Structure 1
Protein backbone atom coordinates (compact mmCIF):
# COMPACT_ATOMS: atom_id res chain seq x y z
CA UNK A 1 0.00 0.00 0.00
CA UNK A 2 2.84 2.38 0.89
CA UNK A 3 4.52 1.82 -2.50
CA UNK A 4 1.30 2.56 -4.38
CA UNK A 5 0.68 5.79 -2.42
CA UNK A 6 4.29 6.85 -2.93
CA UNK A 7 4.03 6.33 -6.68
CA UNK A 8 0.82 8.37 -6.82
CA UNK A 9 2.48 11.24 -4.93
CA UNK A 10 5.55 11.17 -7.22
CA UNK A 11 3.43 11.20 -10.39
CA UNK A 12 1.36 14.09 -9.02
CA UNK A 13 4.46 16.13 -8.14
CA UNK A 14 5.86 15.58 -11.63
CA UNK A 15 2.79 17.29 -13.05
CA UNK A 16 3.08 20.31 -10.73
CA UNK A 17 5.55 23.14 -11.28
CA UNK A 18 6.34 25.73 -8.61
CA UNK A 19 6.64 29.32 -9.85
CA UNK A 20 7.29 31.78 -7.06
CA UNK A 21 4.96 30.63 -4.29
CA UNK A 22 2.25 29.39 -6.65
CA UNK A 23 1.99 25.81 -7.87
CA UNK A 24 1.11 25.39 -11.52
CA UNK A 25 -0.52 22.08 -12.26
CA UNK A 26 0.23 21.19 -15.87
CA UNK A 27 -2.77 18.92 -16.14
CA UNK A 28 -5.03 21.75 -14.95
CA UNK A 29 -3.38 24.16 -17.38
CA UNK A 30 -3.93 21.82 -20.31
CA UNK A 31 -7.49 21.14 -19.23
CA UNK A 32 -8.17 24.88 -18.97
CA UNK A 33 -6.67 25.52 -22.40
CA UNK A 34 -8.95 22.91 -23.96
CA UNK A 35 -11.93 24.26 -22.03
CA UNK A 36 -11.44 27.79 -23.42
CA UNK A 37 -10.39 26.85 -26.96
CA UNK A 38 -12.42 29.00 -29.36
CA UNK A 39 -15.29 28.13 -31.65
CA UNK A 40 -14.42 29.59 -35.07
CA UNK A 41 -17.15 30.23 -37.60
CA UNK A 42 -16.33 30.71 -41.28
CA UNK A 43 -18.14 32.81 -43.85
CA UNK A 44 -20.69 30.75 -45.82
CA UNK A 45 -18.74 31.48 -49.05
CA UNK A 46 -15.36 30.43 -47.65
CA UNK A 47 -13.18 28.49 -50.11
CA UNK A 48 -9.87 28.35 -48.22
CA UNK A 49 -9.96 26.37 -44.99
CA UNK A 50 -7.25 25.52 -42.41
CA UNK A 51 -4.72 22.74 -42.80
CA UNK A 52 -2.17 21.04 -40.59
CA UNK A 53 1.34 22.47 -40.86
CA UNK A 54 2.68 18.95 -41.31
CA UNK A 55 0.55 18.35 -44.42
CA UNK A 56 1.40 21.78 -45.81
CA UNK A 57 5.14 21.06 -45.58
CA UNK A 58 4.70 18.12 -47.95
CA UNK A 59 3.75 20.54 -50.75
CA UNK A 60 6.44 23.23 -50.40
CA UNK A 61 10.22 23.50 -50.57
CA UNK A 62 12.67 26.02 -49.07
CA UNK A 63 13.80 28.60 -51.62
CA UNK A 64 15.49 31.98 -51.88
CA UNK A 65 13.48 35.11 -52.67
CA UNK A 66 13.99 34.49 -56.40
CA UNK A 67 12.53 30.99 -56.13
CA UNK A 68 15.89 29.20 -56.33
CA UNK A 69 15.83 26.07 -54.13
CA UNK A 70 18.27 25.99 -51.24
CA UNK A 71 20.27 22.84 -50.63
CA UNK A 72 18.20 21.43 -47.79
CA UNK A 73 15.01 20.16 -49.43
CA UNK A 74 13.04 18.51 -46.62
CA UNK A 75 10.42 16.61 -48.63
CA UNK A 76 11.57 13.22 -47.38
CA UNK A 77 12.71 14.23 -43.91
CA UNK A 78 10.69 17.09 -42.43
CA UNK A 79 12.38 17.23 -39.05
CA UNK A 80 16.04 16.98 -40.05
CA UNK A 81 16.26 19.29 -43.07
CA UNK A 82 13.78 22.08 -42.39
CA UNK A 83 15.84 25.26 -41.95
CA UNK A 84 15.30 26.70 -38.49
CA UNK A 85 16.55 29.64 -36.47
CA UNK A 86 18.98 32.01 -38.18
CA UNK A 87 19.55 29.61 -41.06
CA UNK A 88 15.91 30.06 -42.09
CA UNK A 89 16.07 33.86 -42.25
CA UNK A 90 15.10 35.03 -45.75
CA UNK A 91 13.93 31.56 -46.79
CA UNK A 92 10.55 31.16 -48.53
CA UNK A 93 8.50 27.97 -48.31
CA UNK A 94 7.53 27.83 -51.99
CA UNK A 95 4.91 25.62 -53.61
CA UNK A 96 6.30 22.67 -55.56
CA UNK A 97 3.64 23.06 -58.23
CA UNK A 98 2.93 26.20 -60.21
CA UNK A 99 0.69 28.48 -58.19
CA UNK A 100 -1.72 29.20 -61.07
CA UNK A 101 -2.17 25.46 -61.65
CA UNK A 102 -2.89 24.91 -57.97
CA UNK A 103 -5.53 27.65 -57.92
CA UNK A 104 -7.22 26.43 -61.09
CA UNK A 105 -8.62 23.37 -59.31
CA UNK A 106 -9.05 22.01 -55.80
CA UNK A 107 -5.67 21.53 -54.14
CA UNK A 108 -3.99 21.66 -50.75
CA UNK A 109 -4.38 25.45 -50.93
CA UNK A 110 -8.09 24.95 -50.21
CA UNK A 111 -7.21 23.30 -46.89
CA UNK A 112 -9.62 20.91 -45.21
CA UNK A 113 -13.16 21.64 -44.14
CA UNK A 114 -12.91 21.26 -40.33
CA UNK A 115 -16.53 20.15 -40.19
CA UNK A 116 -15.56 17.05 -42.21
CA UNK A 117 -11.89 16.54 -41.39
CA UNK A 118 -9.75 16.73 -38.26
CA UNK A 119 -7.57 19.85 -38.46
CA UNK A 120 -5.20 20.68 -35.58
CA UNK A 121 -4.86 23.95 -33.74
CA UNK A 122 -1.55 24.69 -32.02
CA UNK A 123 -1.26 26.23 -28.56
CA UNK A 124 1.87 27.78 -27.08
CA UNK A 125 1.80 28.23 -23.30
CA UNK A 126 3.94 30.71 -21.39
CA UNK A 127 3.89 30.21 -17.62
CA UNK A 128 4.35 33.51 -15.79
CA UNK A 129 3.87 32.91 -12.10
CA UNK A 130 2.53 35.54 -9.69
CA UNK A 131 1.98 38.83 -11.51
CA UNK A 132 -0.48 41.47 -10.38
CA UNK A 133 -2.95 42.33 -13.11
CA UNK A 134 -6.41 43.86 -13.35
CA UNK A 135 -8.03 40.98 -11.50
CA UNK A 136 -6.36 38.13 -9.67
CA UNK A 137 -2.91 36.73 -10.45
CA UNK A 138 -1.55 36.63 -13.98
CA UNK A 139 -0.37 33.03 -14.09
CA UNK A 140 -0.12 31.73 -17.64
CA UNK A 141 -0.75 32.82 -21.23
CA UNK A 142 -2.07 30.59 -24.00
CA UNK A 143 -1.76 31.52 -27.68
CA UNK A 144 -3.99 29.48 -30.00
CA UNK A 145 -2.56 29.32 -33.54
CA UNK A 146 -4.43 28.32 -36.69
CA UNK A 147 -2.69 27.67 -40.00
CA UNK A 148 -4.17 28.38 -43.43
CA UNK A 149 -2.39 27.35 -46.65
CA UNK A 150 -3.78 30.29 -48.62
CA UNK A 151 -4.92 33.84 -47.95
CA UNK A 152 -7.23 35.40 -50.52
CA UNK A 153 -6.59 39.10 -51.11
CA UNK A 154 -8.95 42.06 -51.49
CA UNK A 155 -10.25 43.77 -54.59
CA UNK A 156 -8.69 47.21 -55.02
CA UNK A 157 -9.70 49.85 -57.56
CA UNK A 158 -6.87 51.41 -59.62
CA UNK A 159 -7.12 54.42 -61.91
CA UNK A 160 -5.82 52.31 -64.78
CA UNK A 161 -2.87 50.36 -66.04
CA UNK A 162 -1.08 53.57 -67.11
CA UNK A 163 -1.69 55.24 -63.74
CA UNK A 164 -1.28 52.40 -61.22
CA UNK A 165 -2.57 54.32 -58.21
CA UNK A 166 -5.20 53.04 -55.72
CA UNK A 167 -8.46 54.89 -56.15
CA UNK A 168 -11.56 55.07 -53.94
CA UNK A 169 -14.60 53.83 -55.91
CA UNK A 170 -17.36 56.33 -56.64
CA UNK A 171 -20.82 55.17 -55.50
CA UNK A 172 -19.31 51.72 -54.91
CA UNK A 173 -18.24 51.50 -58.56
CA UNK A 174 -14.66 51.29 -59.77
CA UNK A 175 -14.09 53.74 -62.63
CA UNK A 176 -10.71 52.20 -63.39
CA UNK A 177 -9.29 48.70 -63.16
CA UNK A 178 -10.02 46.25 -60.32
CA UNK A 179 -7.25 43.96 -59.13
CA UNK A 180 -7.11 41.49 -56.27
CA UNK A 181 -4.28 42.57 -53.98
CA UNK A 182 -2.70 40.78 -51.03
CA UNK A 183 -3.07 37.12 -51.99
CA UNK A 184 -0.41 35.02 -50.34
CA UNK A 185 0.49 31.41 -49.66
CA UNK A 186 0.68 30.36 -46.02
CA UNK A 187 -0.95 32.25 -43.18
CA UNK A 188 -1.22 32.06 -39.39
CA UNK A 189 -4.06 33.58 -37.39
CA UNK A 190 -4.37 33.42 -33.62
CA UNK A 191 -5.99 34.46 -30.40
CA UNK A 192 -4.29 34.76 -27.01
CA UNK A 193 -5.88 34.39 -23.58
CA UNK A 194 -4.25 35.25 -20.25
CA UNK A 195 -5.34 33.30 -17.16
CA UNK A 196 -5.14 33.87 -13.42
CA UNK A 197 -4.28 31.45 -10.61
CA UNK A 198 -7.90 30.29 -10.44
CA UNK A 199 -7.58 29.11 -14.06
CA UNK A 200 -10.02 31.81 -15.15
CA UNK A 201 -9.41 34.12 -18.13
CA UNK A 202 -8.35 37.72 -17.60
CA UNK A 203 -8.01 39.10 -21.10
CA UNK A 204 -8.28 37.96 -24.71
CA UNK A 205 -6.51 39.26 -27.79
CA UNK A 206 -8.09 38.51 -31.17
CA UNK A 207 -5.70 38.81 -34.11
CA UNK A 208 -6.98 40.44 -37.29
CA UNK A 209 -4.25 40.43 -39.93
CA UNK A 210 -1.47 42.60 -38.44
CA UNK A 211 -3.85 44.42 -36.10
CA UNK A 212 -6.21 43.15 -33.40
CA UNK A 213 -8.39 43.90 -30.38
CA UNK A 214 -8.03 43.36 -26.64
CA UNK A 215 -10.99 42.22 -24.55
CA UNK A 216 -11.36 41.94 -20.76
CA UNK A 217 -13.28 39.03 -19.30
CA UNK A 218 -16.46 39.92 -17.42
CA UNK A 219 -16.91 37.06 -14.99
CA UNK A 220 -20.48 38.00 -14.01
CA UNK A 221 -21.67 38.68 -17.52
CA UNK A 222 -19.65 35.74 -18.87
CA UNK A 223 -18.49 37.70 -21.89
CA UNK A 224 -15.30 39.35 -23.14
CA UNK A 225 -15.76 43.13 -23.41
CA UNK A 226 -13.75 45.40 -25.71
CA UNK A 227 -10.86 47.18 -24.00
CA UNK A 228 -8.28 48.40 -26.52
CA UNK A 229 -6.79 47.74 -29.96
CA UNK A 230 -3.52 47.20 -31.72
CA UNK A 231 -3.38 49.06 -35.00
CA UNK A 232 -0.92 50.21 -37.58
CA UNK A 233 -0.79 53.40 -39.65
CA UNK A 234 -3.85 52.71 -41.78
CA UNK A 235 -5.09 56.33 -41.78
CA UNK A 236 -7.93 55.07 -39.63
CA UNK A 237 -7.55 56.61 -36.17
CA UNK A 238 -9.87 54.04 -34.69
CA UNK A 239 -11.08 50.68 -35.97
CA UNK A 240 -14.61 49.75 -34.90
CA UNK A 241 -14.01 46.33 -33.45
CA UNK A 242 -17.07 44.49 -32.09
CA UNK A 243 -17.91 45.48 -28.51
CA UNK A 244 -17.96 41.90 -27.26
CA UNK A 245 -16.69 38.41 -27.87
CA UNK A 246 -19.49 36.15 -26.73
CA UNK A 247 -19.20 32.66 -25.30
CA UNK A 248 -20.75 29.38 -26.28
CA UNK A 249 -20.46 27.13 -23.21
CA UNK A 250 -17.23 28.78 -22.02
CA UNK A 251 -15.78 29.00 -25.50
CA UNK A 252 -15.05 32.33 -27.20
CA UNK A 253 -16.90 32.59 -30.51
CA UNK A 254 -14.82 34.17 -33.30
CA UNK A 255 -15.77 34.77 -36.92
CA UNK A 256 -13.10 34.21 -39.58
CA UNK A 257 -13.23 36.68 -42.46
CA UNK A 258 -13.97 35.32 -45.92
CA UNK A 259 -10.75 34.40 -47.69
CA UNK A 260 -8.39 36.33 -45.41
CA UNK A 261 -9.38 34.69 -42.08
CA UNK A 262 -8.95 37.71 -39.82
CA UNK A 263 -10.76 36.99 -36.55
CA UNK A 264 -13.65 39.20 -35.43
CA UNK A 265 -16.14 39.04 -32.57
CA UNK A 266 -19.26 39.39 -34.72
CA UNK A 267 -20.75 38.91 -38.17
CA UNK A 268 -20.97 41.63 -40.80
CA UNK A 269 -18.75 44.01 -42.80
CA UNK A 270 -15.63 45.07 -40.91
CA UNK A 271 -13.55 48.02 -42.17
CA UNK A 272 -9.89 47.88 -41.20
CA UNK A 273 -7.92 49.89 -43.78
CA UNK A 274 -8.23 53.22 -45.56
CA UNK A 275 -6.63 54.24 -48.87
CA UNK A 276 -7.44 51.81 -50.25
CA UNK A 277 -10.63 50.93 -48.41
CA UNK A 278 -10.39 47.34 -47.23
CA UNK A 279 -13.14 45.34 -45.56
CA UNK A 280 -13.45 41.91 -44.00
CA UNK A 281 -16.73 40.04 -44.37
CA UNK A 282 -17.83 37.58 -41.71
CA UNK A 283 -20.89 35.35 -41.56
CA UNK A 284 -22.31 32.08 -40.31
CA UNK A 285 -21.04 29.07 -42.26
CA UNK A 286 -18.80 26.11 -41.42
CA UNK A 287 -18.04 25.73 -37.70
CA UNK A 288 -14.58 24.75 -36.44
CA UNK A 289 -14.45 23.19 -32.96
CA UNK A 290 -10.77 23.83 -32.38
CA UNK A 291 -10.60 21.81 -29.14
CA UNK A 292 -11.32 18.54 -30.95
CA UNK A 293 -7.75 18.38 -32.29
CA UNK A 294 -5.42 20.52 -30.22
CA UNK A 295 -1.65 20.32 -29.73
CA UNK A 296 -0.29 22.05 -26.62
CA UNK A 297 3.34 23.12 -26.20
CA UNK A 298 4.71 24.65 -22.98
CA UNK A 299 7.55 27.07 -23.74
CA UNK A 300 9.55 26.25 -20.63
CA UNK A 301 9.49 22.48 -20.67
CA UNK A 302 7.86 21.03 -23.80
CA UNK A 303 9.83 20.13 -26.91
CA UNK A 304 8.40 22.15 -29.78
CA UNK A 305 8.38 20.83 -33.35
CA UNK A 306 11.14 22.19 -35.58
CA UNK A 307 8.72 24.12 -37.78
CA UNK A 308 7.97 26.46 -34.87
CA UNK A 309 11.58 27.66 -35.09
CA UNK A 310 11.33 28.49 -38.79
CA UNK A 311 11.57 32.30 -38.95
CA UNK A 312 11.44 32.70 -42.73
CA UNK A 313 8.42 33.30 -44.95
CA UNK A 314 5.68 30.68 -44.97
CA UNK A 315 4.90 30.94 -48.68
CA UNK A 316 5.94 32.05 -52.16
CA UNK A 317 7.92 35.28 -52.78
CA UNK A 318 5.95 38.41 -53.67
CA UNK A 319 5.04 39.11 -57.27
CA UNK A 320 3.07 41.62 -59.36
CA UNK A 321 3.70 44.66 -57.15
CA UNK A 322 2.62 48.25 -57.87
CA UNK A 323 3.31 51.09 -55.44
CA UNK A 324 3.92 48.58 -52.68
CA UNK A 325 0.64 46.75 -53.35
CA UNK A 326 1.23 43.21 -54.59
CA UNK A 327 -1.10 40.79 -56.31
CA UNK A 328 0.94 38.08 -54.58
CA UNK A 329 2.31 39.32 -51.27
CA UNK A 330 5.07 37.84 -49.18
CA UNK A 331 3.80 35.30 -46.71
CA UNK A 332 4.07 36.15 -43.00
CA UNK A 333 6.96 35.03 -40.82
CA UNK A 334 6.78 32.14 -38.41
CA UNK A 335 4.92 32.37 -35.12
CA UNK A 336 8.03 32.90 -32.96
CA UNK A 337 8.70 36.14 -34.85
CA UNK A 338 5.36 37.80 -33.99
CA UNK A 339 4.61 40.63 -31.52
CA UNK A 340 3.90 39.50 -27.96
CA UNK A 341 0.22 40.00 -27.06
CA UNK A 342 0.68 39.88 -23.27
CA UNK A 343 3.84 40.35 -21.22
CA UNK A 344 4.51 38.16 -18.20
Structure 2
Protein backbone atom coordinates (compact mmCIF):
# COMPACT_ATOMS: atom_id res chain seq x y z
CA UNK A 1 0.00 0.00 0.00
CA UNK A 2 1.44 3.35 -1.03
CA UNK A 3 0.26 6.56 0.62
CA UNK A 4 0.94 9.91 -1.01
CA UNK A 5 1.57 12.76 1.44
CA UNK A 6 1.66 16.39 0.32
CA UNK A 7 4.38 17.70 2.68
CA UNK A 8 6.97 15.87 4.78
CA UNK A 9 8.05 17.91 7.79
CA UNK A 10 11.56 17.32 9.05
CA UNK A 11 12.79 16.81 12.58
CA UNK A 12 13.63 19.68 14.93
CA UNK A 13 17.20 19.54 16.24
CA UNK A 14 19.53 21.68 18.33
CA UNK A 15 22.14 23.34 16.14
CA UNK A 16 24.72 23.81 18.86
CA UNK A 17 27.77 25.73 17.67
CA UNK A 18 27.60 24.96 13.98
CA UNK A 19 25.83 26.32 10.92
CA UNK A 20 23.75 29.47 10.65
CA UNK A 21 21.48 28.72 13.61
CA UNK A 22 24.18 28.66 16.30
CA UNK A 23 22.66 27.93 19.69
CA UNK A 24 19.17 27.66 18.25
CA UNK A 25 16.98 25.04 16.67
CA UNK A 26 16.32 24.15 13.08
CA UNK A 27 14.47 21.45 11.20
CA UNK A 28 16.09 19.01 8.81
CA UNK A 29 14.51 16.90 6.12
CA UNK A 30 11.54 19.02 4.95
CA UNK A 31 10.36 18.27 1.43
CA UNK A 32 7.31 18.66 -0.75
CA UNK A 33 5.64 15.37 -1.55
CA UNK A 34 6.29 12.00 0.03
CA UNK A 35 5.42 8.39 -0.59
CA UNK A 36 5.05 6.07 2.39
CA UNK A 37 4.74 2.32 1.97
CA UNK A 38 3.38 -0.68 3.85
CA UNK A 39 3.42 -4.05 2.06
CA UNK A 40 1.11 -6.94 2.97
CA UNK A 41 2.26 -10.26 1.49
CA UNK A 42 0.22 -13.37 0.76
CA UNK A 43 1.70 -16.82 0.01
CA UNK A 44 -0.50 -19.49 -1.52
CA UNK A 45 -3.51 -17.19 -1.01
CA UNK A 46 -2.85 -17.01 2.74
CA UNK A 47 -1.76 -14.00 4.77
CA UNK A 48 2.01 -14.20 5.33
CA UNK A 49 3.50 -10.90 6.52
CA UNK A 50 3.43 -7.13 6.71
CA UNK A 51 6.50 -5.05 5.87
CA UNK A 52 6.97 -1.53 7.28
CA UNK A 53 9.23 0.94 5.47
CA UNK A 54 10.51 3.77 7.68
CA UNK A 55 12.59 6.66 6.27
CA UNK A 56 14.86 4.56 4.08
CA UNK A 57 16.81 1.36 4.49
CA UNK A 58 18.77 2.15 7.68
CA UNK A 59 15.71 3.01 9.81
CA UNK A 60 13.66 0.24 8.20
CA UNK A 61 16.30 -2.38 9.05
CA UNK A 62 16.47 -1.24 12.66
CA UNK A 63 12.81 -0.50 13.47
CA UNK A 64 10.58 -1.80 10.68
CA UNK A 65 10.99 -4.59 8.20
CA UNK A 66 8.99 -7.78 7.99
CA UNK A 67 6.51 -8.88 10.66
CA UNK A 68 5.34 -12.49 10.14
CA UNK A 69 1.69 -13.53 10.57
CA UNK A 70 1.35 -16.25 13.25
CA UNK A 71 -2.39 -16.79 12.87
CA UNK A 72 -3.32 -14.11 15.41
CA UNK A 73 -0.96 -11.17 14.91
CA UNK A 74 2.09 -9.97 13.02
CA UNK A 75 5.33 -10.56 14.96
CA UNK A 76 9.01 -9.74 14.68
CA UNK A 77 10.86 -11.05 17.73
CA UNK A 78 9.12 -9.56 20.76
CA UNK A 79 7.48 -6.79 18.71
CA UNK A 80 3.90 -7.05 17.47
CA UNK A 81 1.75 -5.15 15.00
CA UNK A 82 -1.70 -5.06 16.59
CA UNK A 83 -5.00 -5.54 14.78
CA UNK A 84 -8.28 -3.65 14.68
CA UNK A 85 -11.61 -5.34 13.95
CA UNK A 86 -9.66 -8.64 14.29
CA UNK A 87 -8.37 -8.34 10.74
CA UNK A 88 -6.71 -5.01 9.92
CA UNK A 89 -3.14 -4.20 11.01
CA UNK A 90 -2.72 -0.99 13.01
CA UNK A 91 0.20 1.12 11.76
CA UNK A 92 1.09 4.43 13.42
CA UNK A 93 1.91 7.32 11.12
CA UNK A 94 4.37 9.82 12.61
CA UNK A 95 3.29 13.42 12.97
CA UNK A 96 4.79 15.49 10.16
CA UNK A 97 7.14 12.89 8.71
CA UNK A 98 4.53 10.16 8.20
CA UNK A 99 6.97 7.32 8.94
CA UNK A 100 5.09 4.02 9.47
CA UNK A 101 5.69 2.53 12.92
CA UNK A 102 4.40 -0.65 14.63
CA UNK A 103 3.61 1.13 17.91
CA UNK A 104 2.89 4.63 19.24
CA UNK A 105 5.54 6.68 21.04
CA UNK A 106 8.71 8.65 20.41
CA UNK A 107 11.01 6.92 17.91
CA UNK A 108 14.61 8.08 17.44
CA UNK A 109 15.44 7.05 13.88
CA UNK A 110 18.71 8.92 13.35
CA UNK A 111 21.44 10.36 15.55
CA UNK A 112 23.20 13.41 14.21
CA UNK A 113 26.15 14.96 16.02
CA UNK A 114 24.25 17.57 17.99
CA UNK A 115 20.84 15.94 18.43
CA UNK A 116 18.48 13.19 17.27
CA UNK A 117 15.78 12.97 14.61
CA UNK A 118 12.61 11.72 16.30
CA UNK A 119 9.23 10.56 14.99
CA UNK A 120 6.25 11.04 17.29
CA UNK A 121 3.24 8.72 16.95
CA UNK A 122 0.04 8.50 18.98
CA UNK A 123 -3.40 6.90 18.95
CA UNK A 124 -4.78 9.68 16.77
CA UNK A 125 -7.39 9.65 14.05
CA UNK A 126 -7.93 6.25 12.39
CA UNK A 127 -7.30 6.02 8.67
CA UNK A 128 -9.53 3.19 7.50
CA UNK A 129 -7.47 2.66 4.37
CA UNK A 130 -9.33 -0.53 3.45
CA UNK A 131 -12.36 1.68 2.60
CA UNK A 132 -10.38 3.59 -0.04
CA UNK A 133 -7.99 1.05 -1.49
CA UNK A 134 -7.10 0.91 -5.18
CA UNK A 135 -5.43 -2.19 -6.56
CA UNK A 136 -2.95 -1.41 -9.33
CA UNK A 137 -1.65 -4.25 -11.45
CA UNK A 138 1.85 -3.59 -12.77
CA UNK A 139 2.14 -5.37 -16.11
CA UNK A 140 5.22 -3.47 -17.22
CA UNK A 141 3.22 -1.51 -19.80
CA UNK A 142 2.65 2.23 -19.35
CA UNK A 143 -0.22 3.09 -17.03
CA UNK A 144 -3.31 4.79 -18.42
CA UNK A 145 -6.34 6.59 -17.02
CA UNK A 146 -6.39 7.49 -13.33
CA UNK A 147 -3.02 5.78 -12.76
CA UNK A 148 -1.11 7.46 -15.61
CA UNK A 149 0.69 9.67 -13.05
CA UNK A 150 2.67 6.54 -12.10
CA UNK A 151 4.57 6.86 -15.40
CA UNK A 152 6.32 10.00 -14.09
CA UNK A 153 10.02 9.15 -13.47
CA UNK A 154 11.15 12.45 -11.95
CA UNK A 155 11.07 13.71 -8.38
CA UNK A 156 7.86 14.70 -6.63
CA UNK A 157 8.68 18.05 -5.12
CA UNK A 158 11.62 20.33 -4.55
CA UNK A 159 15.40 20.01 -4.87
CA UNK A 160 17.50 19.88 -1.71
CA UNK A 161 18.99 23.08 -0.32
CA UNK A 162 20.62 24.47 2.82
CA UNK A 163 22.97 21.51 3.21
CA UNK A 164 25.70 23.37 5.12
CA UNK A 165 26.09 20.57 7.67
CA UNK A 166 27.66 18.33 5.02
CA UNK A 167 30.89 20.27 5.56
CA UNK A 168 31.18 18.56 8.97
CA UNK A 169 29.98 15.13 7.82
CA UNK A 170 26.24 15.33 8.58
CA UNK A 171 24.26 14.20 5.55
CA UNK A 172 21.11 16.18 6.36
CA UNK A 173 19.68 19.22 4.61
CA UNK A 174 17.11 21.64 5.93
CA UNK A 175 15.20 21.10 2.68
CA UNK A 176 15.64 17.56 1.30
CA UNK A 177 14.97 16.31 -2.22
CA UNK A 178 11.39 15.36 -2.90
CA UNK A 179 11.01 11.60 -3.42
CA UNK A 180 10.89 9.70 -6.66
CA UNK A 181 7.61 8.02 -7.53
CA UNK A 182 6.48 4.66 -6.16
CA UNK A 183 7.65 2.75 -9.23
CA UNK A 184 11.22 4.14 -9.26
TM-score under structure 2 normalisation? 0.83
TM-superposed CA distance for 1:165, in Å, is 9.2
Unaligned residue ranges in structure 1 (runs of 5+): 1-143, 167-174, 228-241, 338-344
Does residue 164 of the first structure (1) align with residue 10 of the second (2)? no
What's 1:93 paired with?
none
Does residue 323 of the first structure (1) align with residue 165 of the second (2)? yes
Does residue 245 of the first structure (1) align with residue 81 of the second (2)? yes
What's 1:202 paired with?
48
Q: Aligned with 2:67: secondary structure? A: strand
Structure with higher Rg: it is 1
What's 1:224 paired with?
74
How many residue pairs were aligned?
167
TM-superposed CA distance for 1:204, in Å, is 1.3
Unaligned residue ranges in structure 2 (runs of 5+): 167-171
* Structure-to-structure mapping, 1:58-73, within 5 angstroms: none
Instruction: Tell me, in whole angstroms, the C-alpha distance in 1 between the residues paired with 2:140 and 2:107.
Output: 39
Q: Aligned with 2:66: secondary structure? A: strand
Whether the 8 Å CA contact 1:245–1:254 is kept in 2: the answer is yes
Instruction: Tell me, in whole angstroms, the C-alpha distance in 1 between the residues paired with 2:20 and 2:111.
Output: 14
Instruction: Tell me, in whole angstroms, the C-alpha distance in 1 between the residues paired with 2:164 and 2:51.
Output: 33
TM-superposed CA distance for 1:303, in Å, is 6.6
Instruction: Tell me, in whole angstroms, the C-alpha distance in 1 between the residues paired with 2:133 and 2:156.
Output: 21
Which of 111, 121, 125 pairs up with 1:274? 111
Instruction: Tell me, in whole angstroms, the C-alpha distance in 1 between the residues paired with 2:39 and 2:142.
Output: 20
What's 2:27 paired with?
180
Residues 302, 311 of structure 1: CA spacing in aligned structure 2 closer, same or farther, 3 A cutoff? closer
* Structure-to-structure mapping, 1:277-288, within 5 angstroms: 277-288=116-127
Q: Aligned with 2:135: secondary structure? A: strand
Instruction: Tell me, in whole angstroms, the C-alpha distance in 2 between the residues paired with 1:257 and 1:226.
Output: 20
Q: Aligned with 1:216: secondary structure? A: strand
Instruction: Tell me, in whole angstroms, the C-alpha distance in 2 between the residues paired with 1:246 and 1:193.
Output: 14
TM-superposed CA distance for 1:300, in Å, is 2.8
Deviations 1:191-222 (CA, angstroms, capped at 9, x unpaired): 1121022x221121111111322111111xx1
Residues 183, 295 of structure 1: CA spacing in aligned structure 2 closer, same or farther, 3 A cutoff? same
Instruction: Tell me, in whole angstroms, the C-alpha distance in 1 between the residues paired with 2:104 and 2:56.
Output: 20
What's 2:10 paired with?
153
Instruction: Tell me, in whole angstroms, the C-alpha distance in 1 between the residues paired with 2:142 and 2:154.
Output: 20
Whether the 8 Å CA contact 1:165–1:323 is kept in 2: the answer is no
What's 2:169 paired with?
none
Instruction: Tell me, in whole angstroms, the C-alpha distance in 1 between the residues paired with 2:182 and 2:9.
Output: 20
Whether the 8 Å CA contact 1:159–1:165 is kept in 2: the answer is no
Whether the 8 Å CA contact 1:256–1:263 is kept in 2: the answer is yes
TM-score under structure 1 normalisation? 0.46
Does residue 308 of the first structure (1) align with residue 158 of the second (2)? no
